[in-house]
């Protein structure tokens, strides 16, 4: 009987392995069930021969009373996230500059939850979650139900491996269909569904959820005389683990890493499971050792996250803010979520039309989206997840601060508070004046400006320059030390010497951003020239149209008193920045840079372009005039070629920059 039981255990484990790991069934489902039944019966009769490797262990139904804590032998680290090509380049260059020239392994970043599996003498002994990295939770009962986690390895060794438990997209869809029928809340995504299944005390749930696993990490390779990560992957595969061989790729340089990412990005939609990026690991283990760890992460691997991540959260409320022009903006108050590495709890909803177009209701689960460095946006409500408790959105009729009636200009979508004495508007004007891209007065943050306004020390821009009068009172205010007051007054005084464009931007002229302010300052040189210029002089400037020109003229006409007061306070009204240079290869052209240029940093190139009257941008479009292409360029290069855009190669840009010196 003992032999028969062992025979059946091996036969069923082998069939399981062929089916779930190799995707190559060797026996029919009926045969499998028949042998399993026989085994169950024999184990019942001869429990003394029942082993931990037996497939009857997978059947589930084991219920635990609580999750036991498990301390990991080696911490289970996560990886630093990076979001763009530059950050990948900098990871790569740091390694190369340290004198190490390793190979790399690129892998799919599976969107699930990590797991540590421990085998003793080749038999699954325990499984644990990552937890806080040091201590996780014992989830052996649930992990045993995952069909491609081997209960018995193909060698009788002691080993720990780590990997990712995940749920297929199709499984999630089926599960949600069922849940919808039963009126249960739907599961948000594959990762949450997998994590939720694993966090069950009753293993029946996990069994029904059809979870899956990929193994990608061997924490103690030296015990098996393994020298590279790629060998470790092969070794684990030979032991019977499901390894993502199809997508684990050994590469030699940066362009191959980029190529892998581009390929995977294209295939992502077609995959049966969710991935959220690419993990890039140094292959040679001695190189990994040399690079070591930071306090939190290994220095030999990074996780590149695909852009355009979409996450879901609850729209708790919609609140309204008043800008310095009086414009009223609805803002989403969100249950905080992490999108592309940063926690988001607010997002602008722009205006009433936008909220109505999206058909948002307060209480909705909404999709949030963030692409690259772009500000996160609410893109849609999940209508299917409405419970009926959601509240309709209603635009306000009065300013939330001063209560005055809001006004909508003809043909425009935005509402405005037009009360010139609205405290919030005035405070916003002052905050803007002192802000970084405007007069750049350190120490005048939002909170300080608000205090100064509320104390009535600063009601108008020029009051900043009379603040000296209140020095003693300020020193007595809570949170304002003597030193910081002196420093603040000094910073305010120094701001008088700023170049004209800072003042122009700081005044908050409608439609005049910092770039436009600079263009105008350079052209007219002094405030007086600008005041004396007529509309046509303004329109004749490239990049300045009718609307901006009119806006500038109107502002100057209406605010001449303020400007004179500032003049009398000796505030510089002349452009003191670099004079416009003309460079036939740069001036008036729009540039995009891709790849690295030996010996010159990207910022140096950008500054050079901007100082010579060129414009830089991040993405290639029909409007791009020139793409500067360095070593290991990204997809921007391909796009430039396809749009037939002029290319400056490494030598050309170096030559242009040198000539200029
Ligand atoms: S390697 C020290 N490889 O992404 C090695 N992780 O922050 C650590 N993940 O916590 C992990 N796919 O949960 C690795 N192919 C892969 C992965 C992967 C998904 C997860 C894992 C980890 C996080 C990285």
**Smallest Cα–Cα separation from 190: which of 205, 213, 171, 207?**
171
pLDDT in tens, 133-155: 999 999 999 999 999 999 999 99
pLDDT band at 308 (very low <50, low <70, confident <90, very high): low
Residue 457, sorted as left (phi over 0), alpha (psi -120 to 50) or beta, turns out to be: alpha
| Candidate from 148-157, 378-387, 477-486 with smallest mean pLDDT | 477-486
First to last CA, the chain: 90
Instruction: Say what angle helices 602-611 and 650-660 make with each other, to 10 degrees.
Output: 50
Are the beta carbons of 452 and 488 closer than 8 angstroms? no
pLDDT band at 577 (very low <50, low <70, confident <90, very high): confident
Torsion angle (degrees, nearest 10) of CA 30, 35, 37, 42? 170
CA distance 564 to 558: 12
Are the beta carbons of 302 and 280 closer than 8 angstroms? yes
Closest ligand 1 atom, residue 114 Cα? 13
Q: Which residues of 115-148 are buried (b: 16+ CB within 10 A; e: fewer)?
A: bbbbbeebbbebbbbbbeeeebbbbbbbbbbbbb
Ligand 1 mean position, distance from CA 301 (Å): 9
Ligand 1 mean position, distance from CA 280 (Å): 10
Are the beta carbons of 488 and 443 closer than 8 angstroms? yes
Looking at mean pLDDT, say which of 452-461, 585-594, 626-635 comes out highest: 452-461
Q: For ligand 1, is residue 248 a contact (CB within 6 Å)?
A: no
Question: Can you give the pLDDT at residue 65?
Answer: 87
Q: For ligand 1, is residue 80 a contact (CB within 6 Å)?
A: no
pLDDT in tens, 191-238: 889 999 999 999 999 999 999 999 999 999 999 999 999 999 999 999
Q: Sign of the CA dihedral 112, 113, 116, 117?
A: negative
Q: Ligand 1: which of 134, 216, 288, 306 to mutate, judged by most atoms within 8 Å of the beta carbon?
A: 216
Q: Compute the average pLDDT of residues 620-628.
A: 91
CA distance 509 to 559: 10
The pLDDT > 70 percentage for the chain reads 97
pTM above 0.85, yes or no: no
Any idea which residue has 């997809």 for tokens? 635
pLDDT for 542 beyond 80: no
pLDDT in tens, 420-461: 999 999 999 999 999 999 999 999 999 999 999 999 999 999
Output the furthest CA–CA distance in the chain (Å, rounded). Answer: 106
pLDDT in tens, 399-423: 999 999 999 987 788 999 999 999 9
Active site residue 109: yes
CA distance 87 to 285: 23
Question: Can you give the pLDDT at residue 661?
Answer: 61
Are the beta carbons of 398 and 404 closer than 8 angstroms? yes
Catalytic annotation, pick one of 2, 109, 144, 447: 109
């Amino acid at each position: 009987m003992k032999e028969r039981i062992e025979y059946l255990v091996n036969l069923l484990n082998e069939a399981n392995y062929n089916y779930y790991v190799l995707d190559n069934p060797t026996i029919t489902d009926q045969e499998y069930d028949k042998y399993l039944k026989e085994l169950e019966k024999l184990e019942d009769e001869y429990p003394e021969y029942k082993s931990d490797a037996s497939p009857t262990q997978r059947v589930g139904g084991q219920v635990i009373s609580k999750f036991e804590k498990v301390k990991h032998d080696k911490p289970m680290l996560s990886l630093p996230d990076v979001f763009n090509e530059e950050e990948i380049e900098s990871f790569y260059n740091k390694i190369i500059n340290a004198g190490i020239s390793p190979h790399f392994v690129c892998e799919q970043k599976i969107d699930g939850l990590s797991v540590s599996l421990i085998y003793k003498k080749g038999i699954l002994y325990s499984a644990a979650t990552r937890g806080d990295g040091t201590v996780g939770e014992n989830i052996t009962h649930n992990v045993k139900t995952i069909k491609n986690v081997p209960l018995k390895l193909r060698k009788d060794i002691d080993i720990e491996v780590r990997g990712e438990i995940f749920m297929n997209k199709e499984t999630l869809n089926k599960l949600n269909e069922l849940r919808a029928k039963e009126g249960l809340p739907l599961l948000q995504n594959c990762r949450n569904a997998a994590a939720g299944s694993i966090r069950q005390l009753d293993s029946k749930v996990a069994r029904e959820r059809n979870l899956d696993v990929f193994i990608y990490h061997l924490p103690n390779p030296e015990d098996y005389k393994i020298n590279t990560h790629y060998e470790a992957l092969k070794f684990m595969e030979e032991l019977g683990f499901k390894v993502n061989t199809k997508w684990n790729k050994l590469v030699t340089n940066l362009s191959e890493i980029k190529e892998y990412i581009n390929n995977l990005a294209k295939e992502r939609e077609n995959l049966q499971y969710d991935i959220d990026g690419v993990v890039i690991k140094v292959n040679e283990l001695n190189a990994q050792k040399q690079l070591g760890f930071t306090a939190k992460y290994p220095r030999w691997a990074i996780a590149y996250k695909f852009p355009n991540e979409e996450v879901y959260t609850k729209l708790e409320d919609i609140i309204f803010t008043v800008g310095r022009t009086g414009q009223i903006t609805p803002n989403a108050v969100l249950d905080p979520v992490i999108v592309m590495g940063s926690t988001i709890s607010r997002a602008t909803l722009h205006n009433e039309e936008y909220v109505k177009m999206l058909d948002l209701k307060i209480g909705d689960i909404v999709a949030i989206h963030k692409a690259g460095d772009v500000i996160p946006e609410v893109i849609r409500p999940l209508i299917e997840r409405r419970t009926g408790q959601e509240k309709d959105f209603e635009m306000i009729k009065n300013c939330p601060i001063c209560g005055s009636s809001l006004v909508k200009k003809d043909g425009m979508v935005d509402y405005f508070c037009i009360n010139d004495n609205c405290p919030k508007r005035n405070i916003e004007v002052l905050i803007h004046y002192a802000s970084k891209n405007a007069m750049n007065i350190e120490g005048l943050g939002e909170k300080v400006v608000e205090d100064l306004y509320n104390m009535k020390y600063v009601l108008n821009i020029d009051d900043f320059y009379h603040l000296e009068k209140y020095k003693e009172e300020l020193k007595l205010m809570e949170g304002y030390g003597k030193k910081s007051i002196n420093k603040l007054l000094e910073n305010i005084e120094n701001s008088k010497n700023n170049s004209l464009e800072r003042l122009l931007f700081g005044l908050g002229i409608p439609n005049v951003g910092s770039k436009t302010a600079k263009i105008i300052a350079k052209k007219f040189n002094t405030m007086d020239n600008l005041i004396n210029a007529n509309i046509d002089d303004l329109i004749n400037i490239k990049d300045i149209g009718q609307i901006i020109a009119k806006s500038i003229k109107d502002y100057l006409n209406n605010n001449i008193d303020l400007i004179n007061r500032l003049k009398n306070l000796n505030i510089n009204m002349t452009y003191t920045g670099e004079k416009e240079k003309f460079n036939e290869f740069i001036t008036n052209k729009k540039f995009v840079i891709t790849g690295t240029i030996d010996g010159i940093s990207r910022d140096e190139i950008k500054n050079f372009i901007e100082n010579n009257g060129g414009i830089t941008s991040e993405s290639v479009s029909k409007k791009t005039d020139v793409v500067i292409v360095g070593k290991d360029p990204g997809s921007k290069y391909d796009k430039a070629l396809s749009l037939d855009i002029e290319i400056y190669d490494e030598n050309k840009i170096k030559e242009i920059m040198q000539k200029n010196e």
